[in-house]
């Protein structure tokens, strides 16, 4: 899959925020509703929904309707793309660059 520069920018903008990173961490254990995701935070449900919207736009999470609730889950493919990109900067690559 070809990832555009804009899509990469959206992903990195989304994960730049500590609250959104914490939401991604919570979703590592499985699907959750907005209420379940909002519980550990000292912020309103609408504020959490706004963070989730940005994660959805960056395609880092997916959502499905279950009755009247929406359940959020990680988009494993998008997370894997971020991990592959970040993996290019492991200790070996950084040490090699310093030697130049």
| Domains, the chain, ordered by start | 5-99 (1.10.10.10)
Range of weakest confidence among 45-49, 51-55, 65-69, 86-90 = 86-90
The confidence band for 32, taking pLDDT boundaries of 50, 70 and 90, is very high
Helix (H, G, I), strand (E, B) or coil at 16: coil
Structure tokens at 94: 């950084």
Q: Which long-range contacts (CB under 8 A, 24 or more apart) does 20-23 make?
A: 20/51, 20/54, 20/55, 23/48, 23/51, 23/52, 23/55, 23/61
Cβ–Cβ < 8 Å for 33, 70: yes
The confidence band for 1, taking pLDDT boundaries of 50, 70 and 90, is very low
Q: For 46-61, how does the pLDDT look when each residue is reduced to its tens digit (9 = 90+)?
A: 999 999 999 999 999 9
Is the pLDDT at 14 greater than 80? The verdict is: yes
Mean pLDDT of 66-74: 94
Measured between alpha carbons, how far is 62 from 60 in angstroms, rounded to an integer? Answer: 7
Is the pLDDT at 6 greater than 90? The verdict is: no
């Amino acid at each position: 899959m070809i990832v555009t520069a804009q899509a990469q920018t959206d992903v990195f903008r989304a994960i730049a925020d500590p609250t959104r990173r914490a939401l991604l961490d919570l979703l590592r254990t499985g699907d959750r509703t907005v209420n379940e995701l909002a519980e550990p935070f000292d912020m309103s449900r609408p504020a959490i929904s706004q963070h989730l919207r940005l994660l959805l736009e960056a395609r880092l999470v997916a959502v499905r309707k279950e009755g009247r609730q929406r359940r959020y889950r990680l988009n494993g493919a998008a997370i894997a793309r971020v991990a592959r990109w970040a993996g290019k900067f492991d200790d070996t690559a950084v040490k090699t660059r310093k030697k130049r």
